[in-house]
Amino acid sequence: MHKPLTLPWAGLMIAGASGVLLAMAGVSAPYVVAVMVVWALTLLISQPPEQELQSGREPEGLSRRNLAGMIENAHSPLLLVDDMRVVIANGSARALLGHHVVGQDIRVAIRHPRAIELMNSDRHGEAVVTGLVRRKDVWRVSRYAVDERTSVIELISKTAETDISRAHTDFVANASHELRTPLSSIIGYVETLSEHPEDIDEETARKFLDTIHREARRLQNLVSDLMSLSRVEAEKHDRPDAPVDLNQIVERAAREGAGADRADRLQYEQSGEFKVLGDPQQLEQLVRNLVDNALKYGRAESPVIVRLSESAMGEAKLEVEDRGEGIEPEHLPHLTRRFYRTDPGRSRMSGGTGLGLAIVKHIVERHHGRLDIESEVGQGTTVTVRLPRDGIVKPPAPPVATEPVAEATDQKTSRGAPSNL
Give buried/exposed letters for 286-311 (b at 16+ CB in 10 A, else e): bbbbbbbbbbbbbeeeebbbbbbbbe
Give buried/exposed letters for 188-219 (b at 16+ CB in 10 A, else e): ebeeeeeeeeeeeeeeeeeebeeebeebeebb
**What's the pLDDT at 249?**
93
- Predicted confidence (pLDDT) at residue 150 exceeds the cutoff of 80: yes
- Quick one: 238-401 is in which CATH superfamily? Histidine kinase-like ATPase, C-terminal domain (3.30.565.10)
**What's the pLDDT at 11?**
62
Over residues 245-272, the pLDDT tens digits come to: 999 999 999 988 888 888 888 899 998 8
Measured in degrees and rounded to the nearest 5, phi and psi for residue 364 equal: -65, -45
- Predicted confidence (pLDDT) at residue 416 exceeds the cutoff of 60: no
- Predicted confidence (pLDDT) at residue 220 exceeds the cutoff of 80: yes
Q: Which stretches does DSSP call E strand in 297-379?
A: 304-310, 316-321, 370-376
- Predicted confidence (pLDDT) at residue 176 exceeds the cutoff of 90: no
Span 354-381, average pLDDT: 89
- Predicted confidence (pLDDT) at residue 108 exceeds the cutoff of 80: yes
- Predicted confidence (pLDDT) at residue 117 exceeds the cutoff of 50: yes
- Cross-strand pairs, 371: 385
Q: Where in the chain is the domain with CATH 3.30.450.20?
A: 64-157
Cβ atoms of 352 and 296 within 8 Å: the answer is: yes
Radius of gyration of the chain (CA): 37
Query: Amino acid letter at 170?
Result: D
Over residues 191-217, the pLDDT tens digits come to: 888 887 777 888 888 888 988 988 888
- Predicted confidence (pLDDT) at residue 396 exceeds the cutoff of 70: no
- Predicted confidence (pLDDT) at residue 380 exceeds the cutoff of 70: yes
Cβ atoms of 92 and 78 within 8 Å: the answer is: yes
Best-predicted range by mean pLDDT (51-65, 126-140, 237-251, 378-392): 237-251
Instruction: Say which residue, 356 or 56, is predicted with more confidence.
Output: 356
The whole-chain average pLDDT of the chain stands at 77
**What's the pLDDT at 7?**
57
Q: What is the dihedral of CA 74, 77, 80, 81, to 10 degrees?
A: 180
Cα–Cα distance, 160 to 168 (Å, whole number): 12
Percent of the chain with pLDDT strictly greater than 90? 15
Cβ atoms of 120 and 110 within 8 Å: the answer is: no
Nearest by Cα to 416 from 268, 323, 285: 285
pLDDT band at 130 (very low <50, low <70, confident <90, very high): confident
Query: Quick one: fold of 161-232?
Result: Helix Hairpins (1.10.287)
pLDDT band at 409 (very low <50, low <70, confident <90, very high): very low
Instruction: Say which residue, 169 or 324, is predicted with more confidence.
Output: 324
**What's the pLDDT at 55?**
46
Nearest by Cα to 137 from 118, 158, 153, 116: 158
Cα–Cα distance, 11 to 6 (Å, whole number): 12
pLDDT band at 306 (very low <50, low <70, confident <90, very high): very high
- Cross-strand pairs, 383: 320, 373
- Residue range 64-157, CATH number: 3.30.450.20
- Predicted confidence (pLDDT) at residue 308 exceeds the cutoff of 90: yes
Residue 380: half-sphere exposure toward Cβ, Cα within 13 Å: 19
Cα–Cα distance, 103 to 88 (Å, whole number): 8
DSSP state, 264? G
Span 297-325, average pLDDT: 89
**What's the pLDDT at 263?**
84
Task: Please calculate the CA angle 288-293-298 and round it to the nearest 5 degrees.
Answer: 135
Q: H-helix or E-strand containing 128? A: strand 125-130
Cα–Cα distance, 115 to 108 (Å, whole number): 10
- Predicted confidence (pLDDT) at residue 57 exceeds the cutoff of 60: no
Burial class (CB in 10 A: 0-12, 13-18, 19+), 232: buried
Q: Where in the chain is the domain with CATH 3.30.565.10?
A: 238-401
- Predicted confidence (pLDDT) at residue 385 exceeds the cutoff of 60: yes
Cα–Cα distance, 394 to 121 (Å, whole number): 72
How far is residue 325 from each of residues 238, 298, 380, 419, measured CA to CA in Å?
37, 7, 6, 16
Over residues 274-296, the pLDDT tens digits come to: 999 999 999 999 999 899 888 88
Instruction: Say which residue, 176 or 126, is predicted with more confidence.
Output: 126
Whole-prediction pTM: 0.53
Cα–Cα distance, 290 to 53 (Å, whole number): 75
**What's the pLDDT at 349?**
57
Nearest by Cα to 254 from 265, 240, 239, 241: 265
**What's the pLDDT at 180?**
82
Cα–Cα distance, 399 to 247 (Å, whole number): 13
Q: Which stretches does DSSP call E strand in 204-315?
A: 243-245, 266-270, 275-277, 304-310
**What's the pLDDT at 91?**
87
Q: Where in the chain is the domain with CATH 1.10.287.130?
A: 161-232
